[in-house]
Amino acid sequence: KRARGLGVGAALVRAVEEAARERGLTGVDLHAQTHALGFYERLGYEAYGPEFPDAGMPHRAMRRAL
């Protein structure tokens, strides 16, 4: 919780995206906890499909084209 709002999460996501680009991928898919959808949406991800449980918590699949 102490690191929230410092840009650490966004930097990690951007690093994954850059690694994906270097490998020639054209998009990134992830499974986000529903309470974090806004975070990923601000980074350009779009939710798709129904909500589903993972590790006892509700999730949504998300995707961003690179």
Cα torsion 2, 10, 48, 24: sign: negative
* pLDDT score for 36: 96
pLDDT of residue 55: 96
pLDDT of residue 4: 79
Of residues 56, 50, 44, 55, the one with CA closest to residue 17: 44
Token pair recorded at residue 55:
């590790």
More confident residue, 5 or 12: 12
21 sits in which H/E element: helix 8-22
Beta bridge partners of 63: 29, 46
In the chain, count of helices (H) and strands (E)?
2, 3
Task: Using pLDDT thresholds of 50, 70 and 90, give the confidence band for residue 3.
Answer: confident
* Per-residue pLDDT tens over the stretch 21-58: 999 999 999 999 999 999 999 999 999 999 999 999 99
Radius of gyration (C-alpha) of the chain in whole angstroms? 12
